[in-house]
């Protein structure tokens, strides 16, 4: 009798998820008991270290946006076109790298890839130091050094794809928003800290811009190695990416992300150079120069707005919030045009700060739509096919992770396009006003696309009734 009781007794709850090394083999964040006992603690620890690495990635990625405005005062005689390409190169490379960085998570595991991606940040820092040490350094080496900073941009997709597996659906919007905001705020930190550090060397010690981040990069890699985990569930199969690439919603959301994140990162790269070229009289105000012409303010508020956008999307729906942010960005674009016509720096900066707030909130809302869309469709498939809901949801999580990588890459490519539109307008037309009107049109188009695919009631009910409760 006693042996029967022992056999029938439920097994004790393990204090930690079963592991092999730093791999977690059992992960059920949707189970409230599992989440309360162990899931929340493990997920938050991995989120904190993910934020640190992604933050440093953005620190390094955006470095050249600050360095370019100091190159001429330091004795490097580059043309305006060459300076624009120095900020465009890391943007382009970062966009391209986001796709393989997403594939790297299922291939190597979130922990190991975080270590690798953090370690790679050493390369652009050292190349920057080498480039600015000698005024005879050729332009092609500067372009190479700037391009390698793109590895910092790749960290976003791998980090977001990895963290998306750790959190339950009800907390995913805020977690992804917080993770992304921690990275995005790296832009503001660099644009505030680097000009101050350079000014300590009399404005010519540009090597300090690269040396500043090296100890933090090494510390992040070490912390990730000893404290992060990898999920076996995150070993997404290649088929998930193939399915994602064939799904029209992947490309709809990617286009929306071009408008939101593309604006955020594109403006982040170009704003310091725009301020210096449009308002050269500000060079006579040393305090503004030391603070990087206050360009950090836009990236700062945009980063803070990102988790707010995710939270609002959780409450009111990602489609509604995304639509409103596109309308808000259109208003901001008009403000920029007015400020340029009046040559009014406070209005110019204020309009860009508003654009950053709207784009930041739009980033969080658009990303929240991804797991909501594919999760809702998974539940519908389970009902129609009679397949287990858990099985369909696991497949949807893998597909969502793939879409996050694709959308992140396409969105970053949008930042490169923003730079190029500004470059062509400034170099060939002598004014950036036509560029701003292009962005105005894109924002109106983004609002229309959002309404067409995710807010039209008849289409919603006719084609995807189960999405009505998806938070989209």
Q: What is the mean pLDDT of residues 170-189?
A: 81
Count of CB atoms within 10 A of residue 49's CB?
22
In the chain, the percentage of residues whose pLDDT exceeds 90 is 39
pLDDT at residue 196, rounded to an integer: 86
pTM equals 0.81
H-only helix segments in 228-293: 238-246, 248-278, 286-290
The segment with the largest mean pLDDT, out of 9-23, 52-66, 310-324, is 52-66
pLDDT at residue 3, rounded to an integer: 40
Banded pLDDT at 30 (limits 50, 70, 90): confident
> Is the pLDDT confidence value at 468 over 90?
no
User: Are the CB atoms for 97 and 151 separated by under 8 Å?
Assistant: yes
- Residue with the bigger pLDDT between 401 and 255: it is 255
Phi, psi values for residue 231, rounded to 5°: -105, 130
> Is the pLDDT confidence value at 27 over 60?
yes
> Is the pLDDT confidence value at 170 over 80?
no
**pLDDT, tens digit, for every residue of 214-228?**
999 999 999 999 999
Q: What is the mean pLDDT of residues 245-252?
A: 86
> Is the pLDDT confidence value at 7 over 90?
no
> Is the pLDDT confidence value at 191 over 80?
yes
Q: What is the mean pLDDT of residues 153-168?
A: 86
- Give the H or E element holding residue 24: strand 23-24
**pLDDT, tens digit, for every residue of 48-104?**
999 999 999 999 999 999 999 888 888 888 998 999 999 999 999 998 898 888 778
pLDDT at residue 218, rounded to an integer: 94
pLDDT at residue 56, rounded to an integer: 95
3-state secondary structure of 23: strand
The per-residue pLDDT of the chain, averaged, comes to 83
> Is the pLDDT confidence value at 125 over 70?
yes
What does each C-alpha distance from 234 to 28, 103, 155, 255, 345 come to in angstroms? 12, 10, 17, 26, 48
> Is the pLDDT confidence value at 47 over 70?
yes
> Is the pLDDT confidence value at 460 over 50?
no
User: Are the CB atoms for 62 and 269 separated by under 8 Å?
Assistant: yes
What does each C-alpha distance from 223 to 49, 50, 112, 182 come to in angstroms? 7, 10, 11, 17
**Packing angle between helix 150-163 and helix 40-61, nearest 10 degrees?**
160
**pLDDT, tens digit, for every residue of 383-424?**
777 777 777 777 777 777 778 777 878 888 888 999 999 999
Could you say which DSSP state residue 12 is in?
A: P
Kindly report the CATH number that applies to the domain delimited by 38-469. 1.20.1250.20
Query: Across the strands, what pairs with 24?
Result: 19, 231
> Is the pLDDT confidence value at 4 over 60?
no
Exposure string of 393-412, with b = 16+ CB inside 10 Å and e = fewer, is: bebbbbbbbbbbbbbbbbbb
pLDDT at residue 260, rounded to an integer: 93
Residue 153 CA neighbour count, 13 Å, CB half: 38
Banded pLDDT at 440 (limits 50, 70, 90): very high
> Is the pLDDT confidence value at 469 over 60?
no
pLDDT at residue 379, rounded to an integer: 79
**What does the alpha-carbon distance between residue 288 and residue 276 come to, in Å, rounded to a whole number?**
11
pLDDT at residue 435, rounded to an integer: 94
**What does the alpha-carbon distance between residue 426 and residue 9 come to, in Å, rounded to a whole number?**
75
pLDDT at residue 238, rounded to an integer: 65
């Amino acid at each position: 009798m006693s042996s029967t009781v022992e056999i029938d007794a439920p097994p004790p709850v393990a204090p930690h998820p079963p592991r092999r090394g730093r791999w977690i083999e059992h992960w059920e964040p949707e189970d409230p008991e599992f989440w309360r006992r162990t899931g929340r603690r493990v997920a938050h620890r991995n989120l904190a270290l993910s934020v640190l690495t992604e933050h440093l990635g953005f620190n390094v990625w955006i470095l050249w946006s600050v360095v370019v405005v100091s190159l001429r005062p330091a004795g490097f005689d580059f043309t305006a076109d060459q300076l624009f390409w120095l900020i465009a190169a890391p943007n382009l490379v970062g966009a391209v790298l986001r796709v393989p960085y997403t594939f790297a998570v299922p291939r190597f595991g979130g922990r190991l890839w975080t270590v690798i991606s953090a370690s790679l940040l050493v390369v652009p820092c050292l190349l920057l130091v080498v480039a600015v040490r000698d005024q005879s350094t050729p332009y092609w080496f500067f372009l190479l050094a700037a391009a390698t900073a793109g590895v910092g941009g790749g960290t976003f997709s791998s980090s977001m794809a990895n963290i998306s597996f750790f959190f339950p659906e009800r907390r995913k919007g805020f977690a992804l928003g917080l993770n992304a905001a921690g990275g995005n705020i790296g832009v503001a930190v660099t644009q505030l800290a680097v000009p101050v550090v350079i000014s300590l060397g009399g404005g010519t010690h540009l090597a300090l811009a690269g040396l500043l981040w090296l100890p933090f990069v090494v510390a992040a890699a070490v912390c990730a190695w000893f404290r992060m985990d990898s999920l076996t569930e995150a070993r997404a199969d290649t088929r998930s990416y193939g399915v994602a690439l064939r799904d029209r919603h992947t490309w709809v959301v990617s286009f929306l992300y071009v408008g939101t994140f593309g604006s955020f990162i594109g403006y982040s790269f170009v704003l310091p150079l725009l301020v210096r070229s449009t308002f050269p009289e500000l060079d006579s105000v040393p305090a503004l120069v030391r603070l990087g012409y206050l360009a950090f303010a836009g990236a700062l508020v945009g980063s803070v707005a990102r988790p707010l956008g995710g939270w609002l999307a959780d409450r009111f729906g990602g489609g509604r919030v995304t639509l409103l942010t596109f309308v808000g960005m259109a208003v901001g674009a008009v403000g920029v045009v007015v400020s340029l016509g009046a040559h009014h720096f406070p209005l110019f900066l204020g309009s860009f700060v508003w654009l950053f707030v709207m784009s930041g909130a739009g980033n969080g809302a658009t990303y929240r739509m991804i797991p909501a869309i594919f999760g809702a469709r998974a539940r519908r498939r389970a009902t129609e096919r009679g397949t287990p809901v858990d099985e369909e949801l696991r497949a949807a999580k893998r597909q969502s992770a793939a879409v996050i990588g694709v959308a992140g890459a396409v969105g970053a490519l949008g930042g490169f396009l923003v730079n190029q539109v500004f470059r062509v307008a400034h170099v060939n037309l002598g004014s950036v006003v036509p560029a701003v009107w292009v962005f105005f049109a894109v924002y109106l188009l983004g609002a229309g696309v959002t309404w067409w695919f995710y807010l039209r009631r008849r289409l919603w009910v006719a084609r995807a009734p189960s999405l009505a409760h998806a938070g989209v």
